[in-house]
Chain A
């Protein structure tokens, strides 16, 4: 069973539907026991890093995620959920994330050529940095759907794919049982579904 963590940030309808589409038994839940009994966890999220991190702490889900991570459970963060896996974010101040991955989250402002629009919205190609089972059905340069203004950097340790938006932008990370997509696999057509399928497969 895949537990999609519900902590009141964003709309989980499509994510839930997309997991059902790839044959996964998925539940949207904030129940700690359900999350602990799941064999996989997805941490979604849209909105501001600081608010989301605070919500995870207030609800006690922060500890649940860390605990399950240390037990070796497969965890995937999506969009803001991926950013929360890192140690630190500089989105409007400085905030601590879950610290499951090395790296930090920074703004695109001032780091992109001026002609590029922020947020980075739309379909952009994936470029592989490292082999990952999550990308086993994906080809180099397949497009996925991004919507974000912040991105992870200094995460070479876990980086598996980047995208080109005036510079290399972290698109996907994976280290041991912890993975994340900056893009929305649930909105990325067949390519996105294949990544979710790969996440749900195997032991």
Chain B
């Protein structure tokens, strides 16, 4: 039966992975290629590369790096950050990305989702939503979580799926960085509303948080995290072994 996916996320700026990484056996800890290889070899099911650069020159460097990663690592690659147009989709797909994640770009121009889905297929379009509770209501935030769009999150996500998004990443701003577990309540609300794969993001502090995620939400498809993997607090292999022991189906080969 299909396995639950574990997905590390790498923020890339100026061709380097930001947020220090501390592993033995990696000579260059901020090289996206070295890190991607390390994660791939240790059992990551997919990698997310987040482009946090701003200028045109830096963006070109990002695609060069992506091409290098894609020519050496043979697991699915998702790219996010700065995706505002169909040309942006084209740019990263040509460099070996398999899926493209849109966030603020879709909020500014929702038809980006339907256009991209039509051109590249639903499986290629991932809607990533930064969500936070405001007066008890789930609201979508844009610009890296800084700006409240006023939109209700579950209906926004559902609308994106109806327009053709083939996968959803829900990043809970409320649990992000707190390291006390994923936002089960928020994820559950999204899972009830859509029938495409949903990836949980925000809040992983340790192995038990992933066990809780998959036990409490049997229909969640994947767990995404950054810092706990980068800082070596949790290794992907160690996490998967533990999930397996808890009866959760993961890929071990």
Least distance between B73 CB and chain A CB atoms (Å) = 9
The answer to whether A122 touches B45, judged by C-beta atoms less than 8 angstroms apart, is yes
A119-B122, A123-B251, A145-B76 given; A187·B98 CB < 8 A: yes
Kindly state whether residue B70 has any CB partner on chain A within 8 Å.
Answer: yes
Contact with A along B55-99 (1 / 0, CB 8 A): 000000000000100111011100000000000000001111010
Residue of A nearest to B5 (CB): A122
**A11 to B196 alpha-carbon distance, docked (Å):** 23
Of B3, B70, B74, B167, which one neighbours A192 at CB under 8 angstroms? B74
CB-defined contacts of B212 to chain A, threshold 8 Å: none
Least distance between A163 CB and chain B CB atoms (Å) = 8
Total chain A interface residues with beta-carbon distance under 8 A: 36
Least distance between B98 CB and chain A CB atoms (Å) = 6
The answer to whether B219 touches A115, judged by C-beta atoms less than 8 angstroms apart, is yes
Of B93, B96, B98, B197, which one neighbours A117 at CB under 8 angstroms? B197
Kindly state whether residue B121 has any CB partner on chain A within 8 Å.
Answer: yes
Least distance between A146 CB and chain B CB atoms (Å) = 8
CB-defined contacts of B122 to chain A, threshold 8 Å: 119
Contact stretch, chosen from A13-21, A34-42, A150-158 = A13-21
Of A118, A143, A188, which one neighbours B3 at CB under 8 angstroms? A143
Least distance between A196 CB and chain B CB atoms (Å) = 9
The answer to whether B93 touches A187, judged by C-beta atoms less than 8 angstroms apart, is no
A13-B70, A14-B96, A119-B123 given; A124·B45 CB < 8 A: no
Residue of A nearest to B90 (CB): A11
Main secondary structure of the interface of B (DSSP, over half): loop
Contact with B along A1-22 (1 / 0, CB 8 A): 0000000000101100110110
Kindly state whether residue A147 has any CB partner on chain B within 8 Å.
Answer: yes
Kindly state whether residue B183 has any CB partner on chain A within 8 Å.
Answer: no
Kindly state whether residue A23 has any CB partner on chain B within 8 Å.
Answer: no
Least distance between B237 CB and chain A CB atoms (Å) = 13
Residue of A nearest to B122 (CB): A119
Contact with A along B160-185 (1 / 0, CB 8 A): 00000011000000000000000000
A115-B219, A164-B1, A189-B75 given; A122·B94 CB < 8 A: no
Interface residues of B in 1-41 (CB under 8 A from A): 1-3, 5, 40
CB-defined contacts of B74 to chain A, threshold 8 Å: 14, 17-18, 21, 186-190, 192-193
CB-defined contacts of B95 to chain A, threshold 8 Å: 13
Contact with B along A161-193 (1 / 0, CB 8 A): 000110000000000000000000011111111
The answer to whether A145 touches B75, judged by C-beta atoms less than 8 angstroms apart, is yes
Interface residues of B in 227-253 (CB under 8 A from A): 251, 253
Kindly state whether residue A54 has any CB partner on chain B within 8 Å.
Answer: no
The answer to whether A47 touches B121, judged by C-beta atoms less than 8 angstroms apart, is yes
Kindly state whether residue A32 has any CB partner on chain B within 8 Å.
Answer: no
Of A17, A117, A139, A186, which one neighbours B196 at CB under 8 angstroms? A117
Kindly state whether residue A28 has any CB partner on chain B within 8 Å.
Answer: no
CB-defined contacts of B75 to chain A, threshold 8 Å: 145, 187-189
Across the A-B interface, give the 10 residue pairs with the lowest CB-CB distance, nearest first.
A143-B251, A17-B71, A13-B96, A123-B251, A142-B253, A124-B2, A147-B123, A123-B3, A122-B2, A11-B93
Q: What are 21 A-to-B residue pairs whose CB atoms are below 8 Å?
A: A13-B67, A13-B70, A13-B96, A14-B74, A14-B96, A17-B70, A17-B74, A20-B71, A21-B74, A46-B121, A117-B195, A117-B221, A121-B197, A122-B5, A123-B5, A123-B45, A124-B3, A141-B253, A146-B2, A147-B123, A192-B74
User: A: which residues have CB within 8 A of B?
Assistant: 11, 13-14, 17-18, 20-21, 46-47, 115, 117-125, 139, 141-143, 145-147, 164-165, 186-193
User: B: which residues have CB within 8 A of A?
Assistant: 1-3, 5, 40, 45, 67, 70-72, 74-76, 93-96, 98, 121-123, 166-167, 195-197, 219, 221-222, 251, 253
